[in-house]
Structure 1
Amino acid sequence: MSAPPPWPIGFKTILVRAVLYVLFIGAIVQGAYLEALYLPSVRFTELGFTELTQTLVLFTCCAMLIYIRQVLKVWPTVTLLLLAFVASSLVREQDYFLDTYVAENTWKVLVALIILPSLFWVVKQRQRFLEEFAHYSNTFAFGLFTAGVLTTYIFSRLYGRTIMWQAVLDDQYVRIFKDVAEEVVELLGYSLILIATLELLLLARRIYRARKISA
């Protein structure tokens, strides 16, 4: 029988987290409903609840990843790559404001400035990255993060296609249906990434404490 990990987690703790995550997912869906009900002038636009919540979720993920990497110093190469991905997503979500108030395609330049140096460093430290990833890939956080990425960048794009909703609604097609479908599913995906990042943070804190005890 294999030995338990040096950073165990109790069943009661998992149960409490599961309940909180269910409530959180329910809250964002309710928020989207209230946005549609009470904010008709900005619903599902850059100034609506859904888009602003996406920005808040991604910003929170960035803050947690910076804490994990810079303070807890757990898996710094893996967390750098995750941070680059999430930060790029955050910048991408601001494309309307950047294109309107700065310059066209500004977000693309900023994303390149985030991604390219990060990839260069990860490639340079590839052996360390592979060692860290061997641990990270076997965690609940990795599974959730992967699910969030697939939901946001694959499913929401395909589910929110204009041709799909034109086929569903036929002559009754209105663009708002497509926008709602895509943006709400995208928010769900970002929320999964948020939960995954929180799980990684909690795991990193247990690893950090285990290191201090062993030292």
Structure 2
Amino acid sequence: MKTDTVKQAESAQINVITEESKQVIYKSLLSALTIIAISILVNLSIRVDYVLLGSSLGETSVTETLQLIMLAVASWSFFLLSKQKPHFAHAAILISGFFAVLMIREMDYWMDMIHHGSWVFPALAVTALACAKAYQGGKGTVNEMATILQSPYMKLLIGSVILLVVFSRLYGMGSFWQHVMNEHYVRDVKNISEEGIELLCYSLIALSAVRTHRELKR
């Protein structure tokens, strides 16, 4: 039988909020607030472009600029990881290169001023360099990638990339929106939907990249 002292100690433990519980709740609330902030940012950028600036989400719009910033943050986070943690260098450079290529693709408007389709050349160069670095690591690159993928934040990053390259592309198809609106088709409506989803995905990718870098750096 338990003594009164043991019972009192167990009762005291039940009625006390542990530091671990506080940390879990704090981190969950912080994550929720961060997602809320990102959602507000995406909405604000579109409203600023259309309501205040009267633009149509062109290449010089706030929304497009934020997309480039988010991709730059994601690419830079993994590039820093490769420098700060050499045992992740090959896989981290490969991931960094992937987001750098996406950023170059988003800058096609500016590169077309030089020559139409000229974005392909820097994109191929970055791809070649990133793949060469990954190849240098041999089979170790696979092990590095597996370690990076163990980070819980990489699940959000992968999910966001899939939403970006699959859902947003299918959702933003002009033929779909023309069928929905028929003779009332307005391209700006399609652009708002497509670019808003893209910025949301890019923002979640940047958030995941920063958190993955922070965790693996420790």
**Structure 2 match to 1:7:** none
Change (3 A) 1:114 1:71: same
Cα deviation, residue 74, structure 1: 5.4
**Structure 1 match to 2:43:** 29
**Structure 2 match to 1:20:** 34
Task: Choose the corresponding residue for 1:84, options 76, 92, 97.
Answer: 97
Secondary structure at 1:182 match in 2 = helix
- The one-letter amino acid paired with 1:200 is T
**Structure 2 match to 1:64:** 77
Q: In the TM superposition, what are the counterparts of 1:1-215 in structure 2 within 5 Å?
A: 10-11=23-24, 12-40=26-54, 42-73=55-86, 75-100=88-113, 102-206=114-218
Looking at CA atoms only, which structure, 1 or 2, has the larger radius of gyration? 2
TM-score (norm 1): 0.84
Question: 8 Å contact 1:150–1:189 — kept in the other structure?
Answer: no
Secondary structure at 1:27 match in 2 = helix
Residues in 1 aligned to 2:138 and 2:193: alpha-carbon distance in whole angstroms: 39
Secondary structure at 1:36 match in 2 = helix
Residues in 2 aligned to 1:103 and 1:53: alpha-carbon distance in whole angstroms: 25
Secondary structure at 1:139 match in 2 = coil
Residues in 1 aligned to 2:133 and 2:48: alpha-carbon distance in whole angstroms: 44
Task: Give CA deviations for 1:43-72 in whole Å, capped at 9, x if unaligned.
Answer: 311011110110111122222222211124
- The one-letter amino acid paired with 2:70 is V
Cα deviation, residue 14, structure 1: 4.0
Which runs of 4 or more aligned residues in structure 1 lie more than 4 Å from their structure 2 counterparts after TM superposition?
A: none
Percent identity reads 23
Residues in 2 aligned to 1:152 and 1:191: alpha-carbon distance in whole angstroms: 11
- The one-letter amino acid paired with 1:20 is T
Change (3 A) 1:32 1:74: farther
**Structure 2 match to 1:4:** none
Which has the higher mean CA deviation after the structures are superposed, 28-37 or 162-171? 28-37
What are the ranges of 5 or more consecutive residues in structure 2 without an aligned counterpart? 1-22
Task: Give CA deviations for 1:12-34 in whole Å, capped at 9, x if unaligned.
Answer: 23432332232122222222123
Residues in 2 aligned to 1:83 and 1:129: alpha-carbon distance in whole angstroms: 14
Cα deviation, residue 187, structure 1: 0.9
What are the ranges of 5 or more consecutive residues in structure 1 without an aligned counterpart? 1-9, 207-215
Count of equivalent residues? 195
Residues in 2 aligned to 1:132 and 1:88: alpha-carbon distance in whole angstroms: 21
